[in-house]
Chains A and B, each alone.
Chain A
Amino acid sequence: MARWGMVFDMKRCIGCNACVVGCKQENSLPDGVFFTKTLSEEYGVFPSVNRVYIPTLCNHCEDAPCEKVCPSGATYTRDDGIVMVDSDKCIGCGACAVACPYDQRTQLSADNFKSGLFGDGELTPFEEQGYARYEPGMVTKCDFCSGRVDAGLDPACVVTCPTDARIFGDLDDPDSKPSKLIRERGGRAPLPEKNTKPKVYYID
């Protein structure tokens, strides 16, 4: 059984957010809702300026605090390490949302689905075929495109990234791309002090 994880190569990332839009496509996300974002930080003083692009998404933590606090059992971890949210069970209490140190959980409101992507109260055919997977009010997040993973594919964000800055694979396989990158270039976990054992690593 694989243990799925991801590596972000920040040296490759150009902050284009193709991943963000690819994810919105794949997951039929409403306006203003993101399962992944690419942040940027600019620092320094002219002319010695730096800017880093920092992709983020759910870290599918081994010790997922969101799973710990979920009262309804909607949040659970699959055998392959993907932390899922069952849209039939979520009550939208938000306990998971305040438990995630990475702020990667997002609450879907009824308004999201009513006003539509174009804000005119009409849903496009795309939205109509896509929104059915969500319960308005639920709190959900990235699921590593679990359906695609089951079909042997990489998550949508990984596939579209123009610079191959997102690398997905089996962390238990020492020869997988993420495992090698973590080893060779020192992948580090985000916010390690939160002790969540995230399965997403960052490489400078």
Chain B
Amino acid sequence: MATNPDAVHNSIKPGKWVRSTCKMCLHSCTNLIHVTDDGVVNKIEGDPTNPSNQGKLCPKGNSAIMRHYDPKRFKQPLKRTNPEKGPNIDPMWEPISWDEAFEITARELKKSIDEDPRKLLPSIEDFQKMNTWAWPLTFGNFNCFQSAGTMCGGAYHPVNGYIHSAFAAANDAKHCMYWINDGTGDGFSSHLHAAAQSKWVADARMDRGMRCVTIEPRFSISAAKSEEWVPILPATDRQFALGLCHEMVNNGLVDYKFMRKDTNAPYLVGEDGYFIRNNEDKIFVWDSVENCAKLWDDPSIKKLALEGTFDVDGKECKPAFQRFKDILEECSPEAMEKITTVPAETTRRLARELYDAAEIAKDSTIEIDGRVMPLRPAAYNYYRGAQGHKMGFQTNHAFKMVNFMLGNIDTPGGHMGVTLDDQMIDNGHIQPGENGMILPTPHQLGPVPPFSYPPNTFHLMDYFPVGVNPPHLNLKVWEDPSKYGIDFKPDVMVICHSNPLWAMQGPRNKWFEFMRSMRFIVVSDLIPTETTMWADVILPSHDVLESWNNTMIEPPHTEGYCFRQPVVEPLYDTKSEEEIFYELSERLGVLEQYNEVVNMAIGLVNKPELMLETNVKHTDREIARRRGLLWNGKDIDWYMEHGHAVTERRSDKWYRPWEGLRLHFYIEDMLVQRDGLKKKMEDANVPFIDEWQWNDYSPLPTATLDPVHNEPEEYDMYGMFYKDIQLNFGESLSNPWIQDIVYRDPVHIALMLNPATAEKKGLKALDIVKVESPHGVLFGRIGTSEGMHPGALGVSNALSRIKTGQMGAPHAGGHFNDLLPYDLLNTDAVTGQPETVCRLKITKLDDWPQGLKDGKSVYDIVDEIGQPGKGRTH
């Protein structure tokens, strides 16, 4: 690219461009980074050679330079000299050498780990680096004090593991023509690779006329761009989806061919919920032409029954499809309307529109790369807002059921499983399971600890055999450890690339006490956050422009590794996270074990010649190099030149990779897991077995209300929170460029209420209010919008930072997560998914409480920006 020494525009000043990968959220759009001849990073753009983000970057990616040059960045290791700890208490950091920092850290960790490795509470959550995330496994430690995947993916990932044997899911933007977004902003504001997905979805809408419908309590960006917005009461999306299924099942709006051929819907289920099996454990089906039971793989089957009640060897049974139809009897659109407030007529119409758009009646097909497959260009996409509820497993399953009805699972135009990290190009993610079904893989984020009583994890992960970590239970257990039989006391924390004091749910003041009960806390991070305030030692890490990595993180339409390489010398006395963990491992005498864990975590075990030597402290560069070799056999110089190995997803992996196997329409494993866990808990006399909600385990989704709907009536509103593309999947509010755009956006500067609701409550815009749920309190200022469901209060993530006195992000009156529960009642017994909606009541205040009056808050900034009487002076 021509450069001009007199140029005033940054991208064309003399310098060089380096290919690398963005890190402003957990995903991995790749970019081009411009460094001037004087070594200043002055422009970052998307890399046009990457078929994923195609040269685009979201506002966060565009703001990365101001993370790099953030003056608050930790410049060297620090030691706390103020023994008092609190969100606003100055730690009185003293700079120390790396040697001293490592010495203190290793010494304190060793003290506890030698006593009992379970005394370590880790919070290490860099999705781009499973090699650090898995570090606690070095000690056989399954504790988890981080929120990664909890609110958005606690139940989402296990269900995707059952249905698609994949980590995430998204609609096929290449062929979809009718795209539903329920509680998600895919393609508009959030979720998978926001910049990339926005481009894919925009092209689908504009080039192919794809229709979008958004189901959400709030008129989000997705709703604004959709052809239709369906307002819905928070925490009722499961009931809505079941209403759709009711309409489909009772009016023949189903892809029966798909049900019969590609799913276990015809498999016969007994009254106890288990499949009907013969002595060899083979499962029976019913041939409706010959009117008899046969084994599922009997070649003489004429037509598989999906409905009816049958008798097999004296056992009454029904096809799984019939079992679902029975559940749906109480899920008519009219019955569901009472819960969701979505008009029955809308549900009926959408069901029909989806069916028509999916081209089921025509049995449309499409040929891709020589394979002729069904074309089902209508799909139901959903994510955090829809799935983050107590009955998480059933909730996610219900959304999948809509897609099952449309016959679109992993099918062109439909709802696709998205793998997290294929590790090697030829890695398939489908394994055959029993009885012709795919092998379900709910453990998408790594191995889970086996059952144990007394528990071996502080957050009771031993009791969620198919779950994702429920870190909020750390707080519940900490309140009364003996109640849960805990026989160890965690007292050291290792926190890296994680901000649990911001992300966890439950009241802050209790989390603060939790932190105070720790003997030693080491934090590795870039900038001061809510969490770094509590550290005893800070180990500052390189940022994304100073380090190496190679990663693939659930890209929806592409696959392949995205490479990160240093662009400049480290600005400060920092180290890579790899160097930090290797040094600590060596000092703790577990270097070999750690290398073994890394080999497993990043898949090097698949190619023994690439496995890391266990007696070496490897660098981030070396790990990046080997990951690249693992992916496509290319060495690091190839990656340094190309920046990525991203291609569009191979159609044989993306489309119906399970062809010939059957999908789990009916998840019998729920009963296997339930009964297995129950027996173990009974045999071990687990004292809290009565708290376990066995009904959460269900092979099919039901319409049981989440407990949030049964909170006391005085809490008459539903609270929901949201982010948009400037904020999602990362910390960005400390960035001045992000602050410059977020606090000018009307949806991120007030607690949002429907105007009619506000009027009924005697509230108006700019009123200061106290918001209370049964679990906590939040203060804020009201804004009104017709784009809010009358029953909901919307709280933007921009208004949930905590005042610390050291952070760049301004506070706003509390934290939405304080309003959320953290108990077992509101946790999915299957997956650990917590409830992310609350019931609340709103009280008008005359003024802010004293503690919130000093220091600049978001509302102060908003007033400065929007004050009438002050215009555009600079």
On A, residues with C-beta under 8 Å from B are 9, 11-12, 14-18, 20-22, 24-28, 31-34, 37, 40, 42-47, 49-53, 103, 106-109, 111-112, 117-120, 122, 124-126, 128-130, 133, 145-148, 150-153, 156, 159-165
Contacts and interface: CB of A to CB of B under 8 A. Distances in A.
B10 interface: yes
A116 to B, nearest CB: 8
Contacts of B787: 42, 46, 49, 51
A21 B744 CA distance: 13
Interface string B765-797: 000000000000000000001111110000000
Given A151-B4, A161-B56, A129 B42 contact: yes
Given A53-B224, A148-B9, A164-B202, A126 B189 contact: no
A32 B789 CA distance: 33
B224 A51 contact: yes
B9 A160 contact: no
B109 to A, nearest CB: 34
A124 B64 CA distance: 13
Interface in B727-783: 736-738, 740-741, 744-746, 754, 756
A53 B223 CA distance: 12
Contact of A130 (B10, B736, B788): B10
A17 B10 CA distance: 19
A163 B53 CA distance: 10
A129 B1 contact: no
Given A14-B198, A49-B787, A148-B9, A160 B872 contact: no
Contact of B225 (A14, A24, A34, A130): A14
Contacts of A111: 874
Given A21-B63, A33-B874, A160-B56, A16 B189 contact: yes
B4 A25 contact: no
B65 interface: yes
A160 B738 CA distance: 16
B56 A162 contact: yes
A137 B353 CA distance: 58
B219 A49 contact: yes
Contacts of B38: 129
A113 to B, nearest CB: 11
A46 B788 contact: yes
Given A42-B219, A124-B66, 7 more contacts: A12-B206, A53-B224, A112-B874, A126-B66, A153-B12, A156-B43, A162-B198
A145 B224 CA distance: 30
B40 interface: yes
B71 interface: yes
Interface of B: 1-4, 7-13, 36, 38, 40-46, 53, 55-59, 61-63, 65-66, 69-72, 188-189, 194-196, 198-199, 201-203, 205-206, 219, 221, 223-225, 229, 231, 724-726, 736-738, 740-741, 744-746, 754, 756, 785-790, 808, 872-874
B67 to A, nearest CB: 11
B874 A21 contact: no
A161 to B, nearest CB: 7
B55 to A, nearest CB: 7
B726 A24 contact: no
A108 B786 contact: no
A161 B737 CA distance: 16
Given A16-B198, A108-B874, A151 B1 contact: yes
Contacts of A52: 224
Contacts of A130: 10, 42
A147 B724 contact: no
A117 B735 CA distance: 9
Task: Count chain B CB atoms within 10 A of each CB in A18, A44, A128 and give the residue with the most.
Answer: A18
Chain A binding site: helix, strand, loop or mixed by DSSP?
mixed
Interface centre among B12, B66, B71, B874 (most CB of A within 10 A): B874
Name, among B1, B724, B786, the residue most crowded by chain A CB atoms within 10 Å (CB to CB): B786
A94 to B, nearest CB: 10
A106 B871 CA distance: 11
A44 to B, nearest CB: 6
B738 A16 contact: no
Contact of A124 (B43, B71, B754): B71
A126 B55 CA distance: 22
Contacts of B8: 27, 133, 147
A50 B202 contact: no
Contact of A16 (B4, B12, B58, B65): B58
B9 A145 contact: yes
B225 A129 contact: no
Contacts of A122: 71
B202 A46 contact: no
28 contacts: A11-B205, A15-B745, A16-B194, A16-B198, A16-B221, A16-B726, A18-B57, A21-B59, A25-B65, A25-B737, A27-B9, A28-B42, A42-B785, A42-B786, A42-B787, A51-B221, A103-B872, A112-B874, A118-B736, A126-B40, A126-B65, A146-B9, A153-B11, A159-B46, A160-B57, A161-B56, A162-B56, A163-B202
Nearest to B787: A49
Given A21-B738, A126-B42, A162 B199 contact: yes
Contacts of A126: 40-42, 65-66, 69
A106 B46 CA distance: 28
A87 B336 CA distance: 64
A20 B787 CA distance: 25
Contact of B62 (A14, A25, A28, A119): A25
A150 B785 CA distance: 44
B741 A46 contact: no
A25 B746 CA distance: 24
B221 A160 contact: no
Contacts of A37: 744
A120 B874 contact: no
B199 A164 contact: yes
B56 A32 contact: no
Contacts of A124: 66, 69, 71
Contacts of B70: 118
B786 A49 contact: yes
A14 B56 contact: no
Given A118-B70, A163-B198, A21 B737 contact: yes
B874 A109 contact: yes
A24 B726 CA distance: 15
Contacts of A42: 219, 224, 746, 785-787
Contact of B194 (A20, A26, A119, A162): A162
A108 B873 CA distance: 9
B1 A153 contact: yes
A116 B483 CA distance: 54
A16 B56 contact: no
Given A46-B788, A50-B224, A126-B42, A17 B59 contact: yes
A145 B12 CA distance: 10
Nearest to A103: B872
Contacts of B44: 25
A17 B746 CA distance: 13
B744 to A, nearest CB: 8
Contact of A46 (B45, B59, B71, B786): B786
Nearest to B58: A18
A46 B38 CA distance: 55
A125 B39 CA distance: 9
Contacts of A32: 740, 874
B588 to A, nearest CB: 37
Nearest to B8: A133
A164 B200 CA distance: 10
Contact of B786 (A45, A117, A165): A45
Top 6 A-B pairs, shortest CB-CB distance: A163-B202, A124-B69, A21-B62, A51-B224, A133-B8, A162-B198
Nearest to B7: A147
Which of A15, A21, A27, A28 has the most chain B CB atoms closer than 10 A to its own CB?
A21
A18 B53 CA distance: 13
A44 B43 contact: no
Contact of B40 (A25, A40, A125): A125
B173 to A, nearest CB: 12
